[in-house]
Structure 1
Amino acid sequence: MSVTVHIAGLPLERVVFSPSPLAELGTALHTLAEPGHHPGVHGWATATNASLKQDLADRLCEADFLWRTTFSDILLGFAGLRDASAQPGGTLSQDLDLLDRLDDESYVMAALEFTCGALYGTDAVRSPLADPALRERALDLAAARGPQQQRFTQRLLDDPPAVRSWIRRLFEDCDRAFFADTWNRVRPQLTADAREKTELLRRRGLAATLAAVSPALSTDEAGSVIDADKLASARTTAVDPAVGPGVTFVPSIHQWPHLLVLHRHGWRPVVHYPVAAPELPGPLSVDQFKLRMEALAHPMRMRLCRNLARAPYSTSELADQYALSSPEVSRHLAVLKKAGLITARRRGRYVQYQLDLKVVGRLGSDFLETVLR
């Protein structure tokens, strides 16, 4: 399985390496929401969370589905503009200005990505703002994640401009509270990495540059595709004339172990990659390791782990996403739970399951990096 970006005929100057303040804020917020994904910056996450004022912390919880469950495409909003010259801004304010240029339908569909996974990457033009059935589905899936997310989704569907303004103010408040200092600290390293990769691309070509970005990235002999080895299958193109040619590589300090490929139809592709990787704990006992590896031998359970590593899911949500019956999903979850790999928590009439990242971390960095990629 892989995500493939078609680049046949794309000039190398349209392969751009550039940091993005908004994307880095998104990964920082994800780290604060899911510190278990990022053990190397646990100290920063603990100190930053402790310093947040209660009002800001509450608002972040209200909108955390934008960066906790999935990394919302609005955090890479420049890629959705029908302007081939649009690239990340030099400041958070500039990135937010680019995001403001998206129309309401593009913004809402990107923000509610978790409700339209079956349509992601396709040329379907349906929008929950215009399609009653898709609107109802969005609200149903939001309800499965709790009343707070249901209320937020309802507000976004009812009044997109007001919620867009609310989200912009939230990001600006994050900048004042902690991100301005964080960005000043990480920007030199991100800028240096982008400059280094750009020079490597010029001197040694695409294949060597992709290898330097991540061992999960490769290209064919003709240089006609970029292939990202992930537990997902998707295709997109960087040479759509309606969108404008180009693919952007965005480096991140807080991103490890995630390697994200934006492949939304009608948006230019983006590869969002980490520039550093911390060490993880050592191995398990042989008996426990054997039990857990046997539980992961089934390919569907590996794919379920990809979801459960990012956020809690109910049986019905997983069944809907993979076109399986609920009993079949339940059998796979039972095997994972018996091996001690997942936890279960009841929320109202739903039971939500999530991968135990502390346990998974003991399987080794290769497995953790694969499911979180």
Structure 2
Amino acid sequence: MANVLDLHGLPQERIVFALSPLAELGSALHVLAAPAHHPGLHGWATATSSGLKPDLADRLCEAEFLWTSTRCDLLLPARPGATLAEELDLLDRIDDETFVATAFEITCNSAYEVCTPSPLVDEGERRRVREQAAARGPRQSAFVDRMLLDPDGLRAWLRRLFEDCQDAFFGDAWERVKVQLAADARHKTELHRRKGLGEALTAASPALSLDGSGSRILVDKLTTGRASAYADPDDPGLTLLPTAFGRPHLTLAHPVGRRPVVQYPVAGHEAARTLSLQDVQQRMDALAHPMRMRLCRSLARGAHTTSELVDTYGITAPEISRHLSVLKKAGLLTTRRRGRYVLHELDLTAVARLGSDFIEGVLR
């Protein structure tokens, strides 16, 4: 599975690696709302949550549907500003109909790639988003009603919420990570200029790649979709935003009529171990077969030759070899030669990490 971003004919300068304080605030808020997704940030999430004033914590709960399960596109600016205040000013310039429709685009819209009318002007859409919000609980339902009845007031409330987050915890966090993010964006920009977009993409994330034609980006996620760098004819391009709070998520926003945005986690000590979803599927399939599970029992306890496994399990050498080949192709076996014998052993590290690989894949 993959999302496809069409770049055919797009000038190089239209592909931008940049910083966004608002996007990073969105990532940080997601960590606070879903800390189980981010075990590496457990300490930060616990300390920050415990230090929040009750009023701020309560307001964050009211609006958390904007960043908990999926990030609202409002929090992923295609044209980032230098400061959070500047990006909030840009949000203030969006008209009410677009603002409200975008706020509900993920949580209340099952057809992300289809342009739907704003619930401020369409009664059917208004009824539908209220029904969707009611299914998510009274807090989201009340929030949606407030946005529909008083969009200006709710927008001002939301801006104050983000400003209070800046004062309470995000200002310090941003000062700590922005140097790393700026260095990452500069590095990817230089790779793009010197070695091409393919090098810059794979350096940003193993889940990003160019197809053979060099005109489409493939985003390895458990979703399928298509987007174009020309979605906004007045501002064609692609914006890529590094995040220090985002791992394991690779976030792709491509709302109708706006240039797509990719937010990728900056490289850390785990980056080299990231598996493609195809690799994860291959490993799970390899272990699902009953005979291979039985073979793993022996191979986990120590190295064995093919003939030893034949004697133990009473099946033919070609059958054993076939099963070993599947496990090896999936990256779950190590082999070494001792004289004329080849010894096979289960890679316990790879098997132990499979649960984490699966979780990272479905959260990507």
- Residues 178-216 of structure 1: CA deviation (Å, up to 9, x unaligned): 111000000000000000000000010011111111111
Aligned CA-pair RMSD: 2.0
**In the alignment, residue 142 of structure 1 is paired with which amino acid?**
A
The answer to whether the Cα contact below 8 Å between 2:113 and 2:256 also exists between their aligned partners in 1 is: yes
Q: CA deviation at 1:239?
A: 2.1
Q: CA deviation at 1:110?
A: 1.5
Establish whether residue 109 from structure 1 lines up as the match of residue 93 from structure 2: no
Q: CA deviation at 1:92?
A: 0.6
Q: Identity percentage over the alignment?
A: 57
Q: CA deviation at 1:95?
A: 1.0
When residues 73 and 116 of structure 1 are mapped into structure 2, their CA distance, relative to the original with a 3 A threshold, is: same
The answer to whether the Cα contact below 8 Å between 1:237 and 1:268 also exists between their aligned partners in 2 is: yes
Residue matched to 2:302: none
When residues 115 and 28 of structure 1 are mapped into structure 2, their CA distance, relative to the original with a 3 A threshold, is: closer
Q: Which moved more, 1:153-162 or 1:269-278?
A: 269-278
Residue matched to 2:110: 118
TM-score, L = length of structure 1: 0.74
Matches of 1:129 and 1:278, distance apart in 2 = 46
* Residue correspondence of structure 1 range 59-138 to structure 2 within 5 A: 59-76=59-76, 78-79=77-78, 87-122=79-114, 124-138=115-129
Residue matched to 1:267: 258
TM-score, L = length of structure 2: 0.76
Partner secondary structure for residue 215 of structure 1: coil
The answer to whether the Cα contact below 8 Å between 1:247 and 1:269 also exists between their aligned partners in 2 is: yes
- Residues 286-340 of structure 1: CA deviation (Å, up to 9, x unaligned): xxxxxxx68x98xxxxxxxxxxxxxxxxxxxxxxxxxxxxxxxxxxxxxxxxxxx
Residue matched to 1:164: 155
Q: CA deviation at 1:278?
A: 6.2
Residue matched to 1:141: 132
Matches of 1:54 and 1:69, distance apart in 2 = 23
Matches of 1:29 and 1:156, distance apart in 2 = 20
Q: CA deviation at 1:371?
A: 0.4
The answer to whether the Cα contact below 8 Å between 1:250 and 1:271 also exists between their aligned partners in 2 is: yes
**In the alignment, residue 113 of structure 2 is paired with which amino acid?**
G
Matches of 1:276 and 1:163, distance apart in 2 = 37
Matches of 1:136 and 1:278, distance apart in 2 = 47
Partner secondary structure for residue 174 of structure 2: helix
Establish whether residue 252 from structure 1 lines up as the match of residue 246 from structure 2: no
* Residue correspondence of structure 1 range 1-373 to structure 2 within 5 A: 1-76=1-76, 78-79=77-78, 87-122=79-114, 124-240=115-231, 242-277=233-268, 363-373=354-364
Q: CA deviation at 1:5?
A: 0.9
Of the two, which has the highest radius of gyration?
Answer: 2
- Residues 17-67 of structure 1: CA deviation (Å, up to 9, x unaligned): 001000000000100111110011111111100110000000000000011
**In the alignment, residue 96 of structure 1 is paired with which amino acid?**
L
Q: CA deviation at 1:114?
A: 3.5
The answer to whether the Cα contact below 8 Å between 2:204 and 2:267 also exists between their aligned partners in 1 is: no
Structure 1 portions without partners, runs of 5+: 80-86, 281-292, 298-360
Matches of 1:362 and 1:213, distance apart in 2 = 22
Q: CA deviation at 1:272?
A: 0.4
Q: CA deviation at 1:116?
A: 4.1
